[in-house]
Amino acid sequence: MVAEVLAALNPQPGGRYVDGTVGLGGHAAAILRASAPTGWLSGCDQDGDALELAARRLAEFAGRFELRQENFSELGKWVGAGSCDGVLLDLGVSSMQLDHAGRGFSFQQDGPLDMRMNRRQKLTAAELVNTASAEELARIFWELGEERESRRFARAIEHDRQARKFETTAQLAGLIERLAPRHGQRTHPATRVFQALRMAVNDELGALRRGLDAAFGVLKPGGRLAVITFHSLEDRVVKEFGRVGARDYTVPGGVDVPELRQPCAAKLKVLNRKAIQPGAEEVAENPRARSAQLRVFEKI
Interacting residue ranges for ligand SAM, rule: CB under 6 A: 20-21, 23-27, 44-47, 50, 71-73, 90, 92-94, 117, 207, 211
Q: CB nearer to ligand SAM: give 189 or 211.
A: 211
Closest contact distance (angstroms) between CB of 182 and ligand SAM is 27
Query: Cis before residue 112, ω within 30 degrees of 0?
Result: no
Closest contact distance (angstroms) between CB of 158 and ligand SAM is 29
Cα–Cα distance, 257 to 299 (Å, whole number): 26
Closest contact distance (angstroms) between CB of 296 and ligand SAM is 15
Closest contact distance (angstroms) between CB of 48 and ligand SAM is 9
Q: CB nearer to ligand SAM: give 47 or 149.
A: 47
Q: CB nearer to ligand SAM: give 31 or 180.
A: 31
Closest contact distance (angstroms) between CB of 267 and ligand SAM is 22
Q: Measuring CA to CA, which residue among 259, 297, 299 is closest to residue 276?
A: 297
Q: CB nearer to ligand SAM: give 17 or 166.
A: 17
Cα–Cα distance, 5 to 9 (Å, whole number): 6
Q: CB nearer to ligand SAM: give 117 or 225.
A: 117
Q: CB nearer to ligand SAM: give 160 or 282.
A: 282
Residues in the chain: 300
Q: Measuring CA to CA, which residue among 169, 137, 171, 178 is closest to residue 155?
A: 137
Closest contact distance (angstroms) between CB of 208 and ligand SAM is 7
* Closest residue to ligand SAM using C-beta atoms: 23
Cα–Cα distance, 27 to 6 (Å, whole number): 9
Asked if 100 and 238 touch (Cβ cutoff 8 Å), the reply is no
| SS3 state at 257 | coil
Cα–Cα distance, 156 to 188 (Å, whole number): 18
Cα–Cα distance, 73 to 175 (Å, whole number): 35
